């Protein structure tokens, strides 16, 4: 086959065959097709999209570019969840120990921060000595031992996705729907899942600003899951304000532990229950909503979920005592206050996300170093009554200069009105 002919075919909006897609990706993995040609094909896909059969072929070749996990010998339901990214979203860290302590196998491959959204792997790297880069053998060994593990993308699993993503990141093709879907689902299929629940964030702090966009994405993800024999369900959740009381890196680990100790924040609990109940019901672990809810809450209040989280941290080299003995004690902090009375009516949540990047919770360039001590505490949430001088945010971190820049961003990121606003539900289904 000739690369330029395949590129021209997609450029002109024609449908690529299964053989053409697989040959092109496999040849690129062998360095027989260079990055320039791959960039051209990705841009053509971005412009014209893909029909279902093309998308399934792309996912299949990405999955088979590396190893596939098989946990059938453990005789337990293998499940995972995926979030499209938000601010303060620590649900993976909460849900994984809940489910695995119930006997589910949870082989989670998580991501780093992307643009203005936080990354689960970056948060875990704030734990002293915690290892997120495990070999495939180490990953499987940990799951055999503890029912769960959480790692960054392995070189051995879906290497084609990693290579394509690096090109997408510098060629303006990140927002392509088929490329987003193939990236998400190829890794989940390679995990050897029986069931998957997807948390698609919607709102001003999400990549999907409108529910219509989110539903289009959901339909494609569900089709892929069904084609590869994975039970796949979707929840749409509100990202018009941050989740929980904190966003950042180590502060979210501490908030996760507090939650698993039974100190529930309402919004975190709603999303946790929404996703957890879906997995318990799709796996036939629970018969109905109320029994599934009771199981999850009892699992937390009994201490089993916290014990499993501690086990997870220890199994990947982390020091749980270092977390609990080093509570937030930032070098610098700035309080951002309201200059008027009223009700907190709205956040510019994406702006909050970019302010987190500014203080070191995300990267502006690949050589930036993260500040694991940095973060934001959300002292007030939408709908609450505000008096002049009340604290809205507390921002903290190593660099006072960066905090001052973030302060200027955050001053403009919330609105106060005279009448108490009607709040949107957290679950948007």
Look-up of token digits 């990953």:
139
- Rounded to an integer, what is the distance from CA 304 to the centroid of its chain? 24
Please check whether residue 386 is in contact with residue 341, taking contact to mean a CB–CB distance below 8 angstroms.
yes
Its sign, for the CA torsion 158, 92, 372, 208, is: positive
Half-sphere exposure of 93 (CA within 13 A, CB side): 29
- Strand, helix or coil at 122? helix
> Which residue in 10, 28, 90, 168 is the catalytic one?
168
Determine whether 168 is an active site residue. yes
> Which residue in 22, 187, 201, 308 is the catalytic one?
187
Determine whether 82 is an active site residue. yes
> Which residue in 183, 186, 345, 373 is the catalytic one?
183
What DSSP assignment string belongs to 124-168?
HTTSTT------HHHHHHHHHHHSEEEEPPPTTS-HHHHHHHHHH
The torsion angles phi and psi of 36, rounded to 5 degrees, stand at: -65, -45
Residue burial 73-110, b: 16+ Cβ < 10 Å; e: rest = eeebbbbbbbbbbbbbbbbbbbbbbbbbbbebbbbbbb
As a whole number of angstroms, the distance between CA 386 and CA 372 comes to 30
Determine whether 394 is an active site residue. no
- Strand, helix or coil at 230? coil
> Which residue in 80, 122, 161, 240 is the catalytic one?
161
Burial class (CB in 10 A: 0-12, 13-18, 19+), 233: middle
Please check whether residue 322 is in contact with residue 372, taking contact to mean a CB–CB distance below 8 angstroms.
no
Determine whether 169 is an active site residue. no
The strand pair at 246-248 and 148-151 is best described as unpaired
- Using alpha carbons, list the distances in angstroms from residue 158 to 50, 132, 136: 20, 17, 12
> Which residue in 10, 28, 81, 82 is the catalytic one?
82
Determine whether 199 is an active site residue. no
Distance spanning both ends of the chain, measured CA to CA: 46
Percent helix, strand and coil across the chain, each to the nearest 5: 45, 15, 40
As a whole number of angstroms, the distance between CA 114 and CA 243 comes to 17
The residues carrying an active-site annotation are 82, 161, 168, 183, 187
């Amino acid at each position: 086959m000739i690369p330029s002919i395949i590129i021209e075919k997609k450029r002109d909006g024609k449908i690529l065959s299964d053989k053409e897609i697989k040959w092109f990706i496999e040849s690129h993995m062998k360095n027989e097709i260079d990055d320039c040609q791959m960039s051209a094909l990705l841009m053509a896909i971005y412009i014209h999209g893909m029909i279902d059969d093309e998308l399934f072929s792309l996912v299949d070749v990405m999955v088979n570019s590396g190893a596939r996990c098989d946990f059938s010998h453990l005789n337990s339901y293998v499940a995972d969840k995926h979030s499209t990214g938000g601010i303060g979203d620590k649900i993976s860290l909460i849900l994984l120990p809940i489910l695995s302590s119930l006997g589910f196998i949870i082989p989670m491959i998580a991501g780093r921060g992307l643009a203005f959204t936080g990354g689960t792997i970056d948060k875990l790297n704030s734990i002293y000595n915690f290892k997120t880069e495990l070999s495939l053998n180490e990953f499987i060994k940990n799951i055999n031992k503890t029912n769960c593990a959480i790692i960054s993308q392995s070189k051995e699993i879906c290497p084609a996705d990693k290579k394509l993503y690096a090109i997408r990141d510098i060629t303006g093709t990140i927002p392509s729907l088929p490329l987003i879907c193939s990236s998400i689902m190829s890794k989940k299929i390679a995990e050897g899942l029986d069931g998957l629940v997807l948390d698609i964030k919607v709102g001003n702090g999400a990549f999907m600003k409108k529910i219509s966009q989110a539903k289009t994405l959901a339909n494609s993800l569900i089709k892929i899951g069904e084609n590869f024999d994975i039970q796949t369900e979707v929840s749409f959740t509100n990202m018009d304000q941050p989740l929980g009381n904190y966003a950042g890196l180590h502060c979210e680990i501490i908030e996760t532990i507090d939650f698993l100790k039974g100190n529930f924040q309402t919004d975190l609990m709603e999303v946790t229950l929404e996703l957890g109940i879906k997995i318990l019901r799709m796996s036939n672990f629970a018969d109905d909503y109320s029994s599934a809810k009771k199981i999850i809450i009892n699992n937390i209040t009994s201490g089993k979920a916290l014990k499993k989280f501690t086990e997870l941290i220890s199994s990947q080299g982390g020091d749980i005592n270092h977390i609990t003995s080093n509570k937030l004690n930032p070098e610098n902090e700035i309080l951002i206050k309201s200059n008027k009375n009223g009700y907190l009516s709205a956040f510019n949540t994406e702006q909050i996300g970019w302010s987190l990047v500014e203080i070191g919770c995300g990267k502006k360039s690949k050589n930036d170093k993260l500040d694991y001590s940095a973060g934001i505490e959300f002292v007030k949430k939408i709908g609450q009554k505000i008096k002049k001088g009340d604290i809205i945010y507390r921002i903290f971190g190593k660099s006072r200069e960066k905090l001052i820049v973030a302060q200027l961003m955050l001053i403009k990121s919330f609105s106060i009105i005279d009448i108490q606003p009607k709040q949107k539900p957290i679950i948007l289904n």
